[in-house]
């Protein structure tokens, strides 16, 4: 039972890492697009 719990925790941590990587990728992509649009519109 202990082993199963440890494996589950490892899986959850890996999932969080993966999810965080995807979120940061989307955030960076969105940021650069937003910055480019703001620059074109002369907000910066």
Give the pLDDT confidence of 8-42 residue by residue, as tens digits.
898 889 899 999 999 999 999 999 998 888 888 88
* d(C-alpha 18, C-alpha 4), whole Å: 21
44 neighbors 38 (Cβ within 8 angstroms) = yes
pTM of the complete model beyond 0.75:
no
Rg (CA), the chain: 19
* d(C-alpha 36, C-alpha 43), whole Å: 10
pLDDT of residue 17: 92
pLDDT of residue 42: 84
* d(C-alpha 12, C-alpha 43), whole Å: 41
pLDDT of residue 44: 52
Q: Please indicate whether residue 39 or residue 43 has the higher confidence score (pLDDT).
A: 39
Cα–Cα distance list, 30 to 20, 22, 42 (Å): 15, 12, 18
């Amino acid at each position: 039972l202990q082993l199963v719990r440890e494996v589950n925790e490892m899986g959850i941590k890996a999932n969080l890492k993966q999810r965080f990587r995807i979120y940061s990728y989307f955030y960076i992509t969105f940021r650069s697009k937003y910055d480019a649009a703001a620059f074109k519109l002369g907000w910066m």
